[in-house]
Amino acid sequence: MTQPAPSTAPPSSSGSSTVVKVLLIFLVLIILFVLAGLAGCVYLGYRAKKKADEIRQAYNAGDLDKLAGAVGVGKPNDSAKSSSGGVSASRSAPLSFPAWTPSSTGTASTRIPLVPGLTALCAVAQFGGDYQSVMQILEVTSDSVKLSIRADNVPNPLLDGLQKLSGEKKKPEASSIRAQRVVQRDDMRTAHELQEWFSPNHPDVFPGTTAVSVSREVLAELKDKGETSFTFGLGGLKGLMGSVVNPLGQLPGGLVPKETTDMGKAACTLKRVGEVAFPVLLNDQRVSLRALHAQCKTEDGLADFYFLDDLDNPANLAFKLGDNGDAVQVISISYPKELAKPPAESRTGLPAAASGGSHIEQELEQNGKAEIYGIYFDFGSDKIKPESEPVLKEIAAALEHNPSWKLRVEGHTDNIGGDDYNMDLSQRRAAAVKRALVTRYHIVEDRLAPEGFGATRPKESNETIAGRARNRRVELVRT
């Protein structure tokens, strides 16, 4: 007997209502997910546009710190370590020097000869912090002048950030610059472009430009006419980009368009402002040199330049590029003593040199102490640069001439960074000077006693790049 199939009852109204509710909820969830996705895309687009605007603004402002923050490899306004190992001052104050007054005590119209061995120490305030550079004339011929540039611990927030992201350990050579430049004599007479970008990857010669000084014609026109046409490389990010593409202009056949190789440069009318007394250590003597102050209006603001008032050597003593741009100031200048003539009091305002012995020896003999600025260290390090050798030799000679002398070698720093770090750095630098004198010049160890004082004995204000640079020094004291 076959079982009958069960009958199918019509659906109830309550079951139908439940199904409709489930479908509506499902549809609402789908709509919400779609809307959330659209909102996410809109938000991401907004963030991307904001990030692009941030990068563009950082480039237009030439601010590498902001660019580093914008691309995520550092925080905006991150500071690099200064010579003292701490956080450096963010931006330099405007350059300012007193008006030139020939009758004032300590001023001098001394000419600075362009000779092999001429060495200048520069304090630099750039994106990320302070550092120092050393320029030295290597060779002088009738056709050209060959010079070298050395700088260590040059801050680069982009490079530092990329290395952090990759986990790569920072290599010391990545923040060091070793470069040479040959300036043609014809350009030293007539060129109107100043090329201050230096890299070991650059060609030695940039025709039509000068380096570390302007041409005779530029200075002459500023003196006679009050203005001159002028081109120079900008600082910050724009300068960094320009220093990369500018050498491409040296390729034969004009393969790279001029508008590309001119990236990072400013062309303007440089106008004379006046004459200033520029403070500098000249062969270890504090003097004020007669310098011509000129200004140039650019899209980044006013650029200030200070040139030695000497047609035979119109050295670029200081400059500040724009309102928030790089600032560079020469702190000390030295040249071989055999080329230095004792300055007459009536002609230069400097005291006549005493007979016999070097300047350091005379200072130790007469005053019992001597400030030493010709010993150059890698920035934030106790490693002595090769350019320090003439002064080390001079100290050794003074000790040999005076076998009864014993000296305390004092190390001093600026006030940037922690007190403990400064004290340690100054002690290590003093010990490095002793070690160099003992190992290279065979000075008996017990004649030298190193001692570090950190930032406790400043000579000048630490509020300026020049003051900080002069506070980083070595002193010798007879004991």
Q: What is 49-82 written as a DSSP string?
A: HHHHHHHHHHHHHT-HHHHHHHTTSS-TT---B-
b/e string for 143-163 if b means 16 or more Cβ within 10 A?
A: ebbbbbbbbbbbbbbbbbbeb
pLDDT of residue 92: 56
Contact 462, 421 (CB under 8 A): no
Model pLDDT, residue 81: 43
Residues in the chain: 479
Helix (H, G, I), strand (E, B) or coil at 182: strand
Angle at 138 between CA 266 and CA 399, to 5 degrees: 125
C-alpha angle 412-418-424 in degrees, rounded to nearest 5: 50
CB 116 within 8 A of CB 348: no
Residues 6+ positions from 404 with CB-CB distance below 8 Å: none
Q: Which is nearest to 474 in space by CA: 337, 356, 363? A: 363
Q: What is the Cα–Cα distance from 193 to 211, expressed in whole angstroms?
A: 9
List the pLDDT tens digit at each of the 479 positions of the chain. Answer: 434 333 334 444 455 565 556 566 666 566 666 666 665 555 545 555 554 555 455 555 555 555 555 544 444 333 334 443 333 444 556 788 999 987 655 555 568 999 999 999 998 887 667 788 899 999 999 999 999 998 877 766 555 555 555 555 555 455 778 899 999 999 999 999 999 888 888 889 999 999 999 999 999 999 999 999 999 988 767 776 777 766 666 656 555 566 666 778 899 999 999 999 999 988 878 889 999 999 999 888 899 999 999 999 999 999 998 877 788 999 999 888 665 454 443 333 333 333 346 789 999 999 999 998 889 888 778 999 888 998 999 999 999 999 999 999 999 998 887 899 999 999 999 999 999 999 999 999 999 999 999 999 999 888 887 788 888 899 999 99
Q: Among 369, 352, 359, 353, which residue's Cα sits nearest to residue 406?
A: 369
Contact 193, 149 (CB under 8 A): no
Q: What is the pLDDT of residue 57?
A: 57
Residue 73 confidence (pLDDT):
43
Entry pTM: 0.72
DSSP 4-15: PPPPPPPPPHHH
| Antiparallel, parallel or unpaired: β 144-151 and 177-184 | antiparallel
Which helix (H) or strand (E) segment holds residue 123: the answer is strand 119-126
